[in-house]
A = this chain, B = another copy of it.
């Protein structure tokens, strides 16, 4: 169970999902670079919409692949190696995108791969935060069972909002705060099942660890956004390249610490299947979409996008896997939908 959990989590890698490669999303490189420069509001809104939809669709299909792979049987492969491959793939995609940019635009100050020590150093921080969080994940299961952990993970929503306010100093209107509380309550409601009440028996240590993990996760997201936005004109592929280099390094550490024997005895690719390959591809693309969202939108959009994706996943699963939707799911979806509505209405009135 634990390895599965990590597989779901780990899809996002030990690093935040932060690589972008424009051709994959369908926005031509030059165009988007121009747009950021000019700050053309309408086009920015268009990019924002496209990346948000892309993230939502990719996250939904990600969850569906997980369900599919669960149905197909147990995970046999090592999760840490898969995480490493996700990081490596994103790294390769960002290099490929840079290659295209260099060949059309030439190398300039914004798209050169070389970066200052300061610029590179900050890229270790999100990676380190995710490493700590993933290590904690092994300890929290001593206090919290897996279904309860799924429920407690919704703290991420609140922690992201709070840290977004405190660290990035971005303001949300009162109505948007209310919408954020509703998003958290709605997502949790949609996940309710007959054993959910056990979460209330979680011991204090479990609550504290869940809150710490939510803060770490929120902090990594917010920190990544800060990195991406510090130099708006800086090419996103370069920023991501460095973020993912550290993602690869930290995942090598994770392989050595957790799966060294297994990899040595069975080989790096033991247990890989078609689904595994698709999941790695999907996680890499989702990471790229998150990266776009961080650069052109923000953490709040990311949270909404992944929350809506969770609901879409359940709906699609009804058709694909004959899932039965619960009343709690309908109620939670209603609350999440109203939350999305209020978030946009609240913005207009700000």
Known: A192-B192, A327-B192. A175 touches B335 (CB 8 A): no
A173 to chain B, nearest CB (A): 10
Number of interface residues of A (CB under 8 A): 29
- Docked pose: A250 CA to B332 CA in angstroms: 41
A182 CB within 8 Å of chain B? yes
A345 CB within 8 Å of chain B? yes
Per the 8 Å Cβ criterion, residues 317-350 of A in contact with B are 325-328, 331-332, 334-335, 338, 341-342, 345, 349
- Docked pose: A328 CA to B193 CA in angstroms: 10
- Docked pose: A57 CA to B338 CA in angstroms: 29
A204 CB within 8 Å of chain B? no
The majority secondary structure among interface residues of chain A is helix
A299 to chain B, nearest CB (A): 21
B331 pairs with A175, CB closer than 8 A: no
A160 CB within 8 Å of chain B? no
Q: Which of B186, B196, B349 contacts A349 (CB 8 A)?
A: B349
A199 CB within 8 Å of chain B? yes
B185 pairs with A335, CB closer than 8 A: yes
- Docked pose: A175 CA to B199 CA in angstroms: 32
Per the 8 Å Cβ criterion, residues 163-202 of A in contact with B are 174-175, 178, 181-182, 185-186, 188-189, 192, 194, 196-197, 199-200
Q: Which of A181, A199, A349 has the most CB of B within 10 A?
A: A181
Residue of B nearest to A326 (CB): B197
Interface string of A197-241 (1 = CB under 8 A from B): 101100000000000000000000000000000000000000000
B327 pairs with A151, CB closer than 8 A: yes
- Docked pose: A20 CA to B141 CA in angstroms: 58
A211 to chain B, nearest CB (A): 16
Q: Which of B181, B200, B328, B345 contacts A189 (CB 8 A)?
A: B328
A42 to chain B, nearest CB (A): 24
- Docked pose: A178 CA to B196 CA in angstroms: 27
Residue of B nearest to A174 (CB): B345
A324 to chain B, nearest CB (A): 8
- Docked pose: A151 CA to B349 CA in angstroms: 35
A200: chain B residues within 8 A (beta carbon): 325-327
B178 pairs with A327, CB closer than 8 A: no
A residues near B (Cβ < 8 Å) are 151, 174-175, 178, 181-182, 185-186, 188-189, 192, 194, 196-197, 199-200, 325-328, 331-332, 334-335, 338, 341-342, 345, 349
Please provide the 8 A-B residue pairs with the shortest distance between their CB atoms, ordered closest to farther.
A185-B334, A189-B331, A185-B331, A194-B194, A178-B338, A196-B327, A197-B327, A197-B326
> Can you sample 23 A-B contacts with CB below 8 Å?
A175-B342, A175-B345, A178-B341, A178-B342, A181-B334, A182-B182, A182-B335, A182-B338, A185-B335, A185-B338, A188-B331, A189-B328, A189-B332, A189-B335, A192-B192, A192-B327, A192-B328, A192-B331, A197-B326, A199-B327, A200-B325, A328-B328, A335-B335
